[in-house]
Amino acid sequence: MGVVGTWVRVGVGVLLGAVTGLVELVYLIWAGIILIPAWPQPRTRRAAVQRIQAGARNLAEVERWRLAAFLRAENASDYTGARAVEYLLLRWAVGLLGGLVLLLFLYGAAVGVIWTFEAFTGQSTLLLIVSQVLLSAVLLFLIVQGFIGIAAVERRLARHFLGPSTREVLERRITELSTSRAGVVAAVDAERRRIERDIHDGVQQRLVALGMLLGRARRAPDNSELIAQAHEETQHILDELRDVAWRAYPAALDNLGLHEALLRVAERAGIRVRLRYELAERPPSAVETAAYFVVSEAVTNAAKHAYAQEVTVDVTQADRLVVRVRDDGVGGADPGGSGLSGLARRVAAVDGEFTVDSPVGGPTVIVAELPCV
Amino acid sequence: MRVTLAEDSTLLREGLVRLLAEEGHEVVAAVGDGDALLAAVAAEQPDVVVVDVRMPPTHTDEGLRAALRIRERWPGVGVLVLSQYVEKRYAVDLLTGHPEGVGYLLKDRVAQVGEFLDALVRVGGGGAAFDPEVVRQLLARTTHADPISRLTERERTVLDHMAQGHTNATIAGQLHISQSAVEKHVNAIFDKLDLSHVTGYSRRVLAVLRYLGS
């Protein structure tokens, strides 16, 4: 969508708005005409009002569609008939005003064509041409401003009268929250499963192996070699245990903060990691944790599944904290896979946005935007 | 004995191979997943198979399913299953069908080298070996609470040892009583549990276990 496309879209929107404005004006006049004789009787009055409101709602729905399609303004549909009538009482005028701006534009364009024709056929003086160009530029500027103004007024009117209402906003938020809450529970369960696996497949196996070594040593006549092996094994077990604990929750995150913890991830990654960390102050702890896990999971994936040589990690902050992890691996990562969907849920839980871009052949770019409030 | 191992942790697999070699057993194959195990058993026909329950690809119960397949297709091969946790259902699954050459141990029991080797020999010889923990759970959860509750404390202890696959002689040694006293307890247990007399230690163990696990 280029600049021209945008202007055509807005232009068509305003043109349609002028047409609907005319229709609305006619409708309101008709409404007045049927309301006057029905007014004295409460019953007939109620019926008339209901008819008018139903029609007004239909017209307002047309406006809603137009605003969504051409002016990029989404509004809710849960407004009352009375609100629709109020909306139309003001809206028709804006529509016609838009029509006038459009006419002015067409008029200006026609005059411009005539002037240009005259300039090329030598019917004007240089002074005249200069003044015409200046005048055209000013007029064009005014017309453009007119369009922008009309579009803005349209959006504001619709937002004011048609919503989204508070209820709709709340409902959306509740849906969002219950989705992310379910996601958080699932993510936590997945984490626990991973930790359980880590403990059994790592630490416990090593402990059983150690027990076997010692058991063999007790049965062997010459056991110094076995005891030496067992001693070495205890060192491995300790390393493994430290790793498992770290993967469950990196304690350094609390004491030393995100930057230190990420440096540690880079050290342990086994591939080259370029870390650019540009936060002036420490983000809130929940955000730090989410950011940490995004980086550590993404780096692990890059090393393990994407066969990457190098990973670039950028942690920056505008109004939101942005974590961007890019690797030069084979791509084709599945956002629905357990690791990445877990990250998506973790990010959603802190109201962030999470995107994975991983075409086959790479590169994979993972971005998480986390609000810091 | 000729042994086939299935264990996905390289570390443990190597350790087991060494241990068994030191004890004079012959490890004819050591593999890391259920399919490879079945292939190895088909090719080698070992005396006994040691199999870990959790193996790739899903790390749930591949090992157990492979063990059940082996018991079905090669009834002569003893199967000793190692499990991370005691699962009553696994024990019951293993006990269905023919009641010889089966064992179910907690994985950690491997560190008790003596007990593990002992169990392996029993299973390889057509006997049974059940982890004390498995037996305890079966006793605790049995649906036949009634007959079990009629047992005396001493009889319960004897049953517990019996269910692990021990002989009267070893039970007598462990409880510091005479063998005839053990036999008396055993007969009392069979009477109370209403089990028909069968010969052979593994049979009696399995009869008791199946009764408890049903």
Kindly state whether residues B99 and B6 are assigned to the same domain.
Answer: yes
Kindly state whether residues A10 and A148 are assigned to the same domain.
Answer: yes
Task: Report the pLDDT averaged over residues B126-131.
Answer: 88
Q: Tell me if chain B has a CB within 8 Å of the CB of A193.
A: no
Q: Give the closest of A197, A201, A211 to B111, CB-based.
A: A211
What mean pLDDT is reported for chain A? 88
Asked if residue B42 has pLDDT above 60, the reply is yes
Cβ B54–A208 below 8 Å, yes or no?
no
Cβ A215–B9 below 8 Å, yes or no?
no
Residues in chain B within 8 Å Cβ distance of A220: 22
Q: Which of the listed residues B137, B158, B189 is the one where a domain comes to its end?
A: B137
Kindly state whether residues A320 and A243 are assigned to the same domain.
Answer: no
| The total number of structural domains that make up chain B | 2
- CB atoms inside a 10 Å sphere around CB A103: 11
Q: Tell me if chain B has a CB within 8 Å of the CB of A220.
A: yes
- Strand pairing class (A272-277; A310-317): parallel
What mean pLDDT is reported for chain B? 87
Kindly state whether residues A198 and A314 are assigned to the same domain.
Answer: no
Q: What does the CA dihedral B58, B59, B60, B63 come to, rounded to 10 degrees? A: 100
pLDDT in tens, A38-49: 888 888 888 888
Place B144 in a pLDDT band, splitting at 50, 70 and 90: low
CATH number at residue B161: 1.10.10.10
Asked if residue B143 has pLDDT above 90, the reply is no
Cβ B111–A206 below 8 Å, yes or no?
no
Kindly state whether residues B83 and B157 are assigned to the same domain.
Answer: no
Kindly state whether residues B102 and B37 are assigned to the same domain.
Answer: yes
| The total number of structural domains that make up chain A | 3
Cβ A212–B114 below 8 Å, yes or no?
no
Kindly state whether residues B176 and B111 are assigned to the same domain.
Answer: no
Q: Which of the listed residues B137, B164, B187 is the one where a domain comes to its end?
A: B137
Cβ B113–A218 below 8 Å, yes or no?
yes
Mutation for testing the B interface, residue in A194, A208, A213, A229 having most B CBs under 10 Å: A208
Structural domain span for residue B153: 143-213
Kindly state whether residues A89 and A146 are assigned to the same domain.
Answer: yes
Residues in chain A within 8 Å Cβ distance of B114: 215, 219
Calpha distance B63→B34 (Å, rounded): 6
Kindly state whether residues A287 and A212 are assigned to the same domain.
Answer: no
SS (H, E, C) chain B: CEEEEECCCHHHHHHHHHHHHHCCCEEEEEECCHHHHHHHHHHHCCCEEEEECCCCCCCCCHHHHHHHHHHHHCCCCEEEEEECCCCHHHHHHHHCCCCCCEEEEEHHHHHCHHHHHHHHHHHHCCCEEECHHHHHHHHHHCCCHHHHHCCCHHHHHHHHHHHCCCCHHHHHHHHCCCHHHHHHHHHHHHHHHCCCCCCCHHHHHHHHHHHHHC
Kindly state whether residues A366 and A271 are assigned to the same domain.
Answer: yes
Place A276 in a pLDDT band, splitting at 50, 70 and 90: very high
Calpha distance B100→A198 (Å, rounded): 35
- As a whole-number percent, the residues of chain B with pLDDT over 70 amount to 93
Q: Which of the listed residues B137, B158, B184 is the one where a domain comes to its end?
A: B137
Kindly state whether residues B43 and B123 are assigned to the same domain.
Answer: yes
Q: Does residue A73 sit within a domain?
A: yes
Q: Does residue A84 sit within a domain?
A: yes
Q: Does residue A234 sit within a domain?
A: yes
Asked if residue A164 has pLDDT above 70, the reply is no
Kindly state whether residues A267 and A239 are assigned to the same domain.
Answer: no
Asked if residue B79 has pLDDT above 90, the reply is yes
Of A64-68, A192-196, A225-229, highest mean pLDDT: A225-229
Cβ A200–B54 below 8 Å, yes or no?
yes
Q: Does residue A36 sit within a domain?
A: yes
Peptide bond into B147 cis (omega under 30): no
Q: Tell me if chain B has a CB within 8 Å of the CB of A208.
A: yes
Residues in chain B within 8 Å Cβ distance of A230: none
Kindly state whether residues B13 and B100 are assigned to the same domain.
Answer: yes
CATH number at residue A346: 3.30.565.10
Q: Give the closest of B59, B84, B110 to A212, CB-based.
A: B110
pLDDT in tens, B174-194: 999 999 999 999 888 888 877
Asked if residue A161 has pLDDT above 90, the reply is no
Kindly state whether residues B86 and B148 are assigned to the same domain.
Answer: no
Q: Which of A89-98, A273-282, B109-118, B204-213 has the lowest average pLDDT?
A: B204-213
Q: Does residue A102 sit within a domain?
A: yes
Kindly state whether residues A116 and A20 are assigned to the same domain.
Answer: yes
Kindly state whether residues B35 and B83 are assigned to the same domain.
Answer: yes
Kindly state whether residues A15 and A159 are assigned to the same domain.
Answer: yes
Residues in chain B within 8 Å Cβ distance of A215: 19, 111-114
Indicate the residue type of A122. G
Looking at per-residue pLDDT, the higher value among A247 and B110 belongs to B110
Q: Tell me if chain A has a CB within 8 Å of the CB of B60.
A: no
Q: Does residue A172 sit within a domain?
A: no
Kindly state whether residues B82 and B152 are assigned to the same domain.
Answer: no
Cβ A215–B113 below 8 Å, yes or no?
yes
Q: Are the beta carbons of B42 and B34 closer than 8 angstroms?
A: no
A205 → chain B, closest CA residue: B12
Asked if residue B28 has pLDDT above 80, the reply is yes
Q: Give the closest of A201, A213, A220 to B9, CB-based.
A: A201
Structural domain span for residue A237: 188-248
Q: Does residue A287 sit within a domain?
A: yes
A194 → chain B, closest CA residue: B59
